[in-house]
Amino acid sequence: MAVSELSNGTIFVSEVTGTAVLLLLGCGVVATGILKGSKGEGGGWLLINWGWGLAVFAGIYVAFRSGAHINPAFTLSQWIIGKITFTQSLVYYAAELIGAFIGAVIAWLAFKEHFDTEEDAGKKLAVFSTGPAIRNYAWNTLTEVIGTFVLVFVILIGPGSPSTIGGPLFVGLLVVGIGASLGGPTGYAINPARDLGPRIAHFILPIKGKGGSDWAYSWVPVVGPMIGGALGAWAFLALGGTGILPGVV
């Protein structure tokens, strides 16, 4: 079924649930790898890369009915190439942000005791949202633009559907590759909802000793990925893309 034939309610529920699963597993693997007392503490960067890739894999399956955007940057690309309307894009954006918030809250509940025993406020924030290794807003934004461009452009020209193993596995492995290759400078948000929804959750939740939510940086993982998503869509169209895309059937 084409996205244009779906109700806004179907799109909303599908994207909320898919993005919630994405963030539950994504925040969960970060918590596993860095929080005090976790059985996976010290698991390292590749554990987190693979965890996020598998989180994307699962989120795509859950959100298959709506085309499994689970990322406002990809939603923007779909609007640019004419697969969804502007009104539909707003439904996707709202659902993705809400789903990301919900997933982060559930991840916090799963690791509540570890959040309570962890003394490093920076690690607590890192479970929810990204932060730069070297803070330079211009270069950090560029890193997010590049990473998201790769994500969106490769998905648009790649094979598969969210209802078969090929599409989700393809995108999940792509996310692992982006994290391993380009994730070092910023922690690779490459998804505005992935960062902003959990950051809001961090701000609201009664997390013991949590410190600030670093709102000064919060625009970078929103603006950078949206620019990257737009550039990915325009590059796809410039190379003769037809708009018949994986994930939108």
CATH of the domain at 206: 1.20.1080.10
**Per-residue pLDDT tens digits for 40-57:** 999 999 999 999 999 999
What is the rounded distance in angstroms from the CA atom of residue 126 to the CA atom of residue 120?
A: 10
Residue recorded with tokens 């509540």: 112
pLDDT at 244: 43
pLDDT score of 246 more than 90: no
Residue-number span of the structural domain to which 48 is assigned: 3-238
pLDDT confidence of 101, banded at 50, 70, 90? very high
pLDDT at 1: 55
82 lies in a domain? yes
243 lies in a domain? no
86 lies in a domain? yes
123 lies in a domain? yes
What is the rounded distance in angstroms from the CA atom of residue 154 to the CA atom of residue 170?
A: 10
**Section 151-161 average pLDDT:** 86
pLDDT at 191: 98
How is residue 106 annotated by DSSP?
H
248 lies in a domain? no
246 lies in a domain? no
Q: How many domains does the chain have?
A: 1
pTM for the model: 0.93
Tokens of residue 216, six digits: 């000064």
Percent of residues, the chain, with pLDDT higher than 90: 90
What is the rounded distance in angstroms from the CA atom of residue 123 to the CA atom of residue 40?
A: 14
pLDDT score of 167 more than 70: yes
